[in-house]
Amino acid sequence: MKKSEGQSEFKNQQEFGNQPTNAKGIPSGPTNQPTNQPTNQPTNSLTLKEAYRILSSRECDVFELIGEGKSNRQIADELYISRDTVENHITRIGNKLGLRGRGKVRTWAVNQVDQ
């Protein structure tokens, strides 16, 4: 094996763990390795209190209003920000909590309040 091939294999193992890769170094086959992609469920068992520690104060404001069932337009009007900014906050909230999409963020927020 050439030195460059060894370095390439090492890089693949760093990026993909022990997951098998094809000749081009692309993962081949399923793996149980964690990914950095948001999922439909929180990546861990966060409580509402822990979620508030992770989120910025403005993200917490948006998160609360989502939990109250308010639309992006209503949130924007109440917080004096644009709808695009609301959408950006929701995306960041989802990324931080491991959730994809406004509906998943809202569902999780409501479920946490109910517990």
Q: Is the pTM of this model over 0.85?
A: no
Whether the per-residue pLDDT at 10 is higher than 70: the answer is: no
Q: Residue 41, Cα to own-chain centre: how many angstroms?
A: 9
Whether the per-residue pLDDT at 5 is higher than 90: the answer is: no
Higher pLDDT, 45 or 102: 102
Q: Tens digits of per-residue pLDDT, 48-98?
A: 889 999 999 999 999 999 988 899 999 999 999 999 999 999 999 999 999
- Residue 93 has φ and ψ, to the nearest 5°, of -60, -50
**Which residue matches tokens 């950095």?**
36
